[in-house]
Structure 1
Amino acid sequence: MSKDNKPTKIKISPWFIYGAIILAFIAINYVAGGATWSNPKPLSLSNFYQYLDAGQVDKVMYSNTSADVYLKPQALNDAKHKDVKNDMLGKANKGPHYSVIIGSQNELFTKKLDEAKQANKIADYGAEPESPWGEILTFVLPFVVIIVLWIYMMRRMAGGGAAGGGGQIFNIGKSRAKLFDEKNDIKVTFKDVAGLEGAKEEIQEIVEFLKNPEKYTNIGGKIPKGALLVGPPGTGKTLLAKAVAGEAKVPFFSLSGSDFVEMFVGVGASRVRDLFKQAKEKSPAIIFIDEIDAVGRARGKNNFSGSNDERENTLNQLLTEMDGFGTNTNVIVLAATNRADVLDKALMRAGRFDRQIYVDLPDIRERKEIFEVHLKPLKKSEDLDTEFLAKQTPGFSGADIANVCNEAALVAARKDKTAVDKQDFLDAVDRIVGGLEKKNKIVSPEEKRAIAIHEAGHATVSWMLEHAAPLVKVTIVPRGQSLGAAWYLPEERLIVRPDQMLDEMCATMGGRAAEKVIFNKISTGALSDLEKVTKQARAMVTIYGLNDKLGNITYYDSTGQSEYNFSKPYSEDTAQVIDKEISSLIEEQYQRAITILTENQDKLLKLADILIEREVIFKDDLEEIFGHRPFEQKGSEVVTEA
């Protein structure tokens, strides 16, 4: 009996039942065929006649094609019959001892038996009665096997299964949502979510409404229908939803947008109906749909082949369930996406997703809080400064910081340390941002000097420009796909002005400019620099309206629908102007970098020599060569690949 005094049900595997059925058929066939444990040996017809003439045969039972031969007890003592003296169980064999194939000699066989009977050489013989069970089983058994297999398949397809019925053919229209309630062990709470104060406040209010709705309804407030979490990947949208599941004392249905997608027509809409039906039965409840853009894309776009119809039907059903005539009371829908620009407008309107909560990348204060959360399970050194770690990771999301902490622990364990210290975190940041250090990569002295000149060019130009981020560390040790890397200390800005962008572009072109100044040649090593500076220049001209020739105009589409258009939002003449202005911006900053490096060529070469000797140089080395930077900025460190 179980703890709640309910009788424990004995679960019998269906395979035992099917095995029992097969054994039953074998037993019926065994008994119906008159089989025994004697295991009669095959005997040729000529040898049988010899035993018959010698008077060793006691009885013969024959059919149209074969005969079973029983020997006399005294004949079994003969050495040539020693193989049939005992049966398969080792006991005295009572027969039949031999099996003879008669074939077409049926008349001769019976004649020999008659002669032996008259000569008293055989006690008895006769025709064996044919059992109808053989033909019955041969006819019935295939149908029985097919029926059993059919029942088994139907039970498997109609059964719940481990996936809650979602993976079975007869439950294909059922929701695949995973239910979390007070019975589930949900350990994530709002205490585990560092930063995101605004988002947590909005989410906590929804949880509080479900816990204590009278607080809001007494003054006429209505429960919001849904909240959409929007933000870059890794910023904690799904973590917030897990915290809601841990905090809310109401049923919480969690699933992904792709769970609605199926190859069968109508399945997605059916799953939406079933999901809201389950949520309404357990209301008040929360539904969380992760990556809702899988089914919530704008309708009527890119629908050339009709393959989009099923997703549109699913979206239509979702719109109806969220705010249709059959409105579900006390069911709140949370959704997360990092592509809010492609969602359908009808899905975004008030009454469906009343609130759009933007979950942005954490700032330095929030990064410190996130580090404190992820550092709890680590054995860290006592002098580890979380504020220093936050400064070293600008632009890192919460997931990136968690990865840094884990990587730092792995680095410390690799070095046989008992605690994780500051250097392990710096190595972890280098590993994650720059890639794996390739110590065995063969670099010729000529190539090494070219790489050093390139990286020294970045360092020199960025040090000389006011708005360019100054370098903190430069290395020519190959990492990942890059041959060298430079760590900057950028200022975290909310808005960027043209002079700031131009200084950053000039610093980016400093590597190629240094190659031009020193070698009067350029190489392929500036690929990532060219890619970065081209994107910046294109953004200045076509997105931010920072180009005097084009004026205050942008071709950026925040709705994301322009990706479906074959035509550009500007004419061919304008396209030529855009290309010319982008090229002009880049070339202007390239020449500016060449001028700066030409004026500081001796310092550039000195810095490159130190870099070749040490492979890694820091801010102090730059200050010894260039002096103290007059426009020092406070910021955080980041890496750029050369």
Structure 2
Amino acid sequence: MAKENNPNNAPKKPRFSSWWIYGVVIALIIGFQFFGGSTFTNTEKTTTSELQEFLRNGDIDKIVIITNTRQAKVFLTEEGLKKDVHKGVAEKPLFPSTGLVPQYVLDYGDLQIFQNEITEIKKENNLDTIIEFDTESNVLGELLLSLLPFALIIGIWIYLMRRMSGGAGGGAGGQIFNIGKSKAKLFDEKTDTRTSFKDVAGLEGAKEEVQEIVEFLKNPDKYTSLGGKIPKGALLVGPPGTGKTLLAKAVAGEAKVPFFSLSGSDFVEMFVGVGASRVRDLFKQAKDKSPAIIFIDEIDAIGRARGKNNFTGSNDERENTLNQLLTEMDGFGTNTNVIVLAATNRADVLDKALMRAGRFDRQIYVDLPDLNERKEIFEVHLRPIKTAETLDLDFLAKQTPGFSGADIANVCNEAALIAARKEKKAVTKQDFLDAVDRIVGGLEKKNKIITPEEKKTIAYHEAGHATVSWMLEHAAPLVKVTIVPRGQSLGAAWYLPEERLIVRPEQMLDEMCATMGGRAAEKVMFDKISTGALSDLEKVTKQARAMVTIYGLNDELGNITYYDSSGQNEYGFTKPYSEETAQKIDLEISKMIEEQYQRAIKLLADNKDKLTELADRLLEKEVIFKDDLEKIFGKRPFEKEELKEEEEETAK
């Protein structure tokens, strides 16, 4: 009974629409048109032979021949109506007509033959039957046919106008008359978002700045009483996946004020003037609901520097949108208690006028998380995951150098998927390590067909990387080496690079030498080289070019850089140096790489027996770890005591 009384379970009644009335009227008109002539009268159809029989019997009073429809209407005499043969048509109709209604109708073929037959029967039987000729016109049908195209056009026009005005299933901003309206989503703190600052791990400096913006809106007197002004805007800058949008969501959850969220691309439309119109409407809505926060994600879509990529000289719609945004943020009109938050990972391409104080007063840099911040991020993302043991978060944080917050979230999710794929009831430490390998290197391809000769080459290549990195002081510590194909690579070596804030030339050169160790091993063992070192060559070339042209670490070129932090070099057609300098740069890059290549060859030639032993073990096991290298080479003499202690704790 409870289920029957529940209104939610009751079937929904169809909603009344005015279109139903139009449909019923049209159906009635069509019905009267096609069926009205015979449905509500007793007129029956007959044949030519029956007509001739009725005519010979003297039952017919009048025959009206309709020439344009090839139809004849037959009217009976009073005596004929009394006969049993005409009993069906003699009865009174259900809806009697006011006009003369024939008792029979028939369709004839050739008019001349039909007329001759009737005339001949009249003469033979000396009948006084009246024969008339007439034409009929269906006024209602013709009127409908003539009005139907206009009615269809008018109906379609009304339908389209209602759709475009947003009255028939269209939301604001999605219709033609609302195209200049803002597409910003207004967040309701009660229903739309649950994110708070507790959900944002790490980013302590950025959180502090953003929290202060929330405080500005909640308690402005605290700041304005001393003569201070509330900031107009804050720009969140940082690499992808570091939590810029998450911070904005936390602001939406904490502010308890109207929060308008949209993307920079929401201002872009195919119509001229739409972007500027949407900016005006956005700020009008925000001012009406002030205090309020506006969040523009990926603001570089409209905030790119003006006049840098407009080669055609035509009016640039994006520039008009940016001009309107600049005016709204700090123009003649003041936006009281409206704060603009924006996020981008391309701050170098933004317009200088957008970045000045008074518009974006604060630039909050959201960097990649360090060791402690990664640990906090793991704590957040491990909450919903069912783990089989108490995980060492310090260990997981150390295994993910250079990972962003989004990458760590992906690691946790991938670990859970891997555990489920293996039919486990809970996620273990090994699943997290496998997830890191999966994300960094790609999916394992154990069924990839590799010839024994290729496998041997790959084994010596990876063993060369491991050997050289073990012998060099500043090379990253090795974790494991594998010759199992993964992603696009045929083999891989995993390292845990030291997280440095500044890098010295000797450290970069050691890393380059370790990277060239793979090709050097092929040269030492087989006196041949292969295409397997493509990614290694790409890496060292970029590194060497950065040392020469960006960091000024080359003695030949000296203390000079060609790096442009404003990002405007991409719009230039000329290099910032002469052809002579370009040749010198190419020569120094090649020289630097060759020196490290020869250094790697010498190291491997001096330790050829150990290289061979390592490659053989790699061919046997396919995956080897740091312990295997220690058995062959002994302890690394360069390891810091702190690292040794940490590794011993991890092993325990």
Same fold per superposition (TM over 0.5): yes
> Are residues 1:455 and 2:462 paired?
yes
- 5 Å-filtered alignment, 1:435-584, equals 435-584=442-591
Q: Residue 269 of structure 1 aligns with which residue?
A: 276
Asked if the contact 2:164–2:170 (Cα under 8 Å) also holds between the matched residues in 1, the reply is no
- CA–CA distance in structure 1, aligned partners of residues 461 and 500 of structure 2: 27
- 5 Å-filtered alignment, 1:378-417, equals 378-417=385-424
Specify which of 612, 618, 627 is matched with residue 605 of structure 1. 612
Kindly state the Cα deviation for residue 69 of structure 1 after the two structures are TM-superposed: 5.9
Structure 2 letter corresponding to 1:543: I
Q: State which drifts further: 401-410 or 106-115.
A: 106-115
What CA deviation, in whole Å up to 9, does each residue of 1:343-368 have, x standing for no partner? 00000000000111111111111111
- CA–CA distance in structure 2, aligned partners of residues 121 and 477 of structure 1: 111
Kindly state the Cα deviation for residue 26 of structure 1 after the two structures are TM-superposed: 2.4
Q: Residue 640 of structure 1 aligns with which residue?
A: none
Q: Residue 622 of structure 1 aligns with which residue?
A: 629
Asked if the contact 1:161–1:167 (Cα under 8 Å) also holds between the matched residues in 2, the reply is no
Kindly state the Cα deviation for residue 336 of structure 1 after the two structures are TM-superposed: 0.6
Kindly state the Cα deviation for residue 106 of structure 1 after the two structures are TM-superposed: 9.8
Identity between Structure 1 and Structure 2 (%): 73
> Are residues 1:26 and 2:33 paired?
no
- 5 Å-filtered alignment, 1:50-449, equals 63=66, 64-67=68-71, 99-101=106-108, 104-105=111-112, 108=115, 112=119, 115=122, 130-159=137-166, 164-306=171-313, 309-449=316-456
What CA deviation, in whole Å up to 9, does each residue of 1:61-94 have, x standing for no partner? 653323266798955899xxxxxxxx9xxxxxx9
Kindly state the Cα deviation for residue 19 of structure 1 after the two structures are TM-superposed: 3.3
Q: Which has the higher contact order (CA 8 A, sep 6+)?
A: 1
Give secondary structure in 1 for the equivalent of 2:363: strand
Root mean square deviation of aligned Cα: 3.4
Asked if the contact 2:303–2:322 (Cα under 8 Å) also holds between the matched residues in 1, the reply is yes
Distance 1:509 1:29, change over 3 A: same
- CA–CA distance in structure 2, aligned partners of residues 298 and 42 of structure 1: 85
- CA–CA distance in structure 1, aligned partners of residues 402 and 426 of structure 2: 27
Distance 1:322 1:525, change over 3 A: same
Q: State which drifts further: 67-76 or 14-23.
A: 67-76
What CA deviation, in whole Å up to 9, does each residue of 1:280-299 have, x standing for no partner? 11111111111100000000
Asked if the contact 2:56–2:121 (Cα under 8 Å) also holds between the matched residues in 1, the reply is no
Structure 1 letter corresponding to 2:303: G
- CA–CA distance in structure 2, aligned partners of residues 38 and 309 of structure 1: 73
| TM-score calculated relative to the size of structure 1 | 0.89
Asked if the contact 1:200–1:240 (Cα under 8 Å) also holds between the matched residues in 2, the reply is yes
Give secondary structure in 2 for the equivalent of 1:300: coil
Kindly state the Cα deviation for residue 161 of structure 1 after the two structures are TM-superposed: 6.7
- CA–CA distance in structure 1, aligned partners of residues 245 and 499 of structure 2: 26
Asked if the contact 1:611–1:617 (Cα under 8 Å) also holds between the matched residues in 2, the reply is yes
Structure 2 letter corresponding to 1:410: L
| TM-score calculated relative to the size of structure 2 | 0.87
Asked if the contact 1:45–1:102 (Cα under 8 Å) also holds between the matched residues in 2, the reply is no
Kindly state the Cα deviation for residue 58 of structure 1 after the two structures are TM-superposed: 9.5
Give secondary structure in 2 for the equivalent of 1:610: helix
Aligned residues: 617
Give secondary structure in 2 for the equivalent of 1:454: helix
- CA–CA distance in structure 2, aligned partners of residues 57 and 619 of structure 1: 118
- CA–CA distance in structure 2, aligned partners of residues 277 and 26 of structure 1: 53
What CA deviation, in whole Å up to 9, does each residue of 1:145-190 have, x standing for no partner? 2111111100001116767321211111111111112453311111
- CA–CA distance in structure 1, aligned partners of residues 358 and 474 of structure 2: 46
Kindly state the Cα deviation for residue 36 of structure 1 after the two structures are TM-superposed: 2.1
- CA–CA distance in structure 1, aligned partners of residues 123 and 504 of structure 2: 122
- CA–CA distance in structure 2, aligned partners of residues 466 and 472 of structure 1: 16
Kindly state the Cα deviation for residue 475 of structure 1 after the two structures are TM-superposed: 0.4
Structure 2 letter corresponding to 1:225: K
Asked if the contact 2:446–2:484 (Cα under 8 Å) also holds between the matched residues in 1, the reply is yes
Q: State which drifts further: 129-138 or 609-618.
A: 129-138
Specify which of 595, 598, 607 is matched with residue 591 of structure 1. 598
Structure 2 letter corresponding to 1:315: L
Distance 1:480 1:57, change over 3 A: farther
Kindly state the Cα deviation for residue 216 of structure 1 after the two structures are TM-superposed: 1.1
Give secondary structure in 2 for the equivalent of 1:34: helix
- CA–CA distance in structure 2, aligned partners of residues 499 and 48 of structure 1: 119
Asked if the contact 2:475–2:511 (Cα under 8 Å) also holds between the matched residues in 1, the reply is yes
Q: Residue 84 of structure 1 aligns with which residue?
A: none
- CA–CA distance in structure 1, aligned partners of residues 63 and 199 of structure 2: 88
Q: State which drifts further: 379-388 or 485-494.
A: 379-388
What CA deviation, in whole Å up to 9, does each residue of 1:550-586 have, x standing for no partner? 1111000011111000000000000000000000010
